[in-house]
Structure 1
Amino acid sequence: MLTGGLKSVGIYGVAAAAEIGGCFAFWAWLRLGKSPVWLAPGMASLAVFAWLLTFIDSSAAGRAYAAYGGVYIVASIVWLWAVEGARPDRWDTLGASVALIGAAIILFGPRR
């Protein structure tokens, strides 16, 4: 299970980067006044994100997506700091920690 768990964590990490990058391309176009050319790589990145989630070892898509939600929250806080230069506050950190614990419970909890 550990090897599968590490694989899932890796897939979720790359998927989060793809989703956040794709969503940021739309943000840059609409909110930062960037060229519509940003939309093409953004859409490609979002397609890669969706494709990657199909590799999560889960009997149900909804469970894989629910667990991903916690990873996405943590990755978004990392993006906030690394790309946007805004340091997360204690509430960002606490919320991301709670979400990641919830994701781990969903993904790694014992199933019948």
Structure 2
Amino acid sequence: MSIITVILQILLGGFFIMTGTKIASGKMADEFKRFGFPSFFNILTGSFEIIGAIGMIVGIWVPIIAVLAGILLGGTMLIAALTLIFIAKDPFKKSVPAIVLCVISVLVIFLNL
């Protein structure tokens, strides 16, 4: 495994632990209401991000876990970007962070195969 792969996994793991915790705690509940999603989506999405983050870190030693975490996080970020564009009708630039995180997650998948 290359040092770049490890760095990407640590960055994704750290980022998603922070955002997943914030989402699961309900601090972003207004954003989910704005999308028209029920309140349990806070816990569901936050849990996906926390599980994916842990998977990214564990995946440093067990690459298949990083692949599975990349699928979970990449899919979550793809849905987030599409939600911002099509449901919330936000400008495209607001979805760029989610798209970048999706691409990095997919990159980690391929680097661990």
TM-score (norm 1): 0.36
TM-score (norm 2): 0.36
